[in-house]
Structure 1
Amino acid sequence: MGAGTTVRWRRRVNRWRRGVLAALICGATVLPLSGAARPDIPAPEPAALAAPTADTLEEAYAANRANAAEASRMSSAHGDRHRAAADRSMADPARRLLAFDGRGAGLATEVFGDLAHADRVAVLVPGSDTSLDTYDRFRAAALALHRQLAAQAPEGDGTAVVAWLGYETPGTVSTTVVTTDRADRAAPKLRALVDTLRGVTAPGTRLALLCHSYGSVVCARAAGGLDVADIALVGSPGTGADTAADLRTGARIWAARGTDDWVEHVPHLSADLFGTTVGFGTDPVSPDFGARVFAAGDGGHSDYFDTGSVSLTNLARIVLGETTEVTHD
């Protein structure tokens, strides 16, 4: 290939690259933004609590349930029956809420299992369009994982799952979903959650982050020095890092994508447009990224935690530390 041909080829690639990223921006801007027209929903300030310990967990759960109950009353008075029902469900005496904030799109951290006595803990980090209004589907994933862990764990090992809706997720159709801005703001909150879990759980408890879609960007931004054993990225559009080594973590980095996941067709590019970095770079399941790629079966973008799926079985093995049993593509 001559020098002139090389230059022309590079120009064509750069034009294509800019065109794709511009299309992402235009599409996200022109199409209706997810939830943009939703009015503010009144709710009380989150419960003011000291950092929980194993001995005060139940008090924290009760305080956050009480906050959810008050949020339900305020939503109902505001005429938002859907949110009132969602908040009321959160206030059920059986729920274990480590945190709750009913304002706006809403935030919640829910625990499944006996956190204080768990030997293995998985933290689920959701992707776009997850809020209190859509929380049930996220909760279903956490419940499925908790059941799978209980079924696969060695006898006598306690397990727990933490469903962390602890950041304002971007809308699938929005400009925020193609930048790291929301993830950059969420990362300190995820680090704080891990610190909280270390203060509640016994020494030596194994923690793993399971990060779906845009949640993988959040995990990547928080990863540096994080005290977790494993970070699994599923359905990831990229992390904003070129390689797994760039995450600067001692955790093992895993990645998987179902064969029917549309995110495969997202361009794995990154460029500076209008002062903002758009796109997330290297595909996490590519050899160039350097993650431990595991099998996820033939599921789609929302199927990684489906009961009986290859992906759920492998994710449970990762959480349990049974890494030699994880199946690979």
Structure 2
Amino acid sequence: MYQAPQHGRAAGRLSTVATRPRKTAPETARHWRVADGIDLFEADYKHFTFPKHSHDYYAFGTILNGAERFMTRGTNYVASRGQLLMMNPMQVHDGGPASDDGYNYQIMFIAPEIFGNLVSEISPKDVGLPFFGNCVANDPDLHLQLQGLHRMFRPEFEQTTSLLERDSQMLYSAARLALRHADAPPYVYHPGSEDKRVKAVIDYMAAHLDANISLDELATLTGLSRFHLLRVFRAATGQPPHAYFNHMRLRRAKRMLFDGSSIADAAAATGFSDQSHLNRHFKGMWGVSPGAFIANLDQTSSKIPK
């Protein structure tokens, strides 16, 4: 179960960012941490498109206005105002506007172990993690429920919502998501359950985020030819090794910025040659620069206990 921060303490590192306006309103995004393993994100995108990427968390979202289009697992989706978005950990997808007005949405990112713990309270005998085969759903009640939950965890409302209410609504939302929209019969999802050779490559990447890894190294590690490794890895993860590795590095850099690291330190720790190198990739992934991302972080927030 997650542990929410106590009243009187900052809810997390808060970032409010805006990119350069294009012809109409500016692109805006806001990302903050509720607790270890739970992040919230909201954005109003007019033109920005996400490249193919994945998250190591579950992502549950609500479309507030406009529409977003994305492709995942070979299927094209359009999520419009009033609809839910549901994405499994490590599920590769892209994203972009599907209407002239762009799309305005809210996302809650929940670590698999935390969501699994929440769901296990519904059915203790159930094993594994829920898998969401359909990424878009119509569920007006749950749409409103998630909007309310998102609002409760906004830093500006920290003092007006009790821990009991937030805990209860978090558990209730997890139950509704799992019971109404997870695949039935349940699909047992195990992060890292890929081919052992692919798992070895992923583990090696995670341990060498600051290194300039070669394909030869990875092929030697697995005992596969370079071409065979590329085929096996892409079949298992949906991405070629270089893209997967780059996204691992960017996720790590983002979390370092949340934890108070400088852009230079984050760049060095994740293998980017300098700040401008990190800036280019970071902005391409999230639509904002690292500097804009941390510009308004709450410098007084303390580390949230596990």
Give the TM interval when normalised to the shorter protein.
under 0.3
Higher relative contact order (CA 8 A, sep 6+): 2
Higher strand proportion: 2
What is the TM-score when the length of structure 1 is the normalising length? Answer: 0.25
Max Rg structure = 1
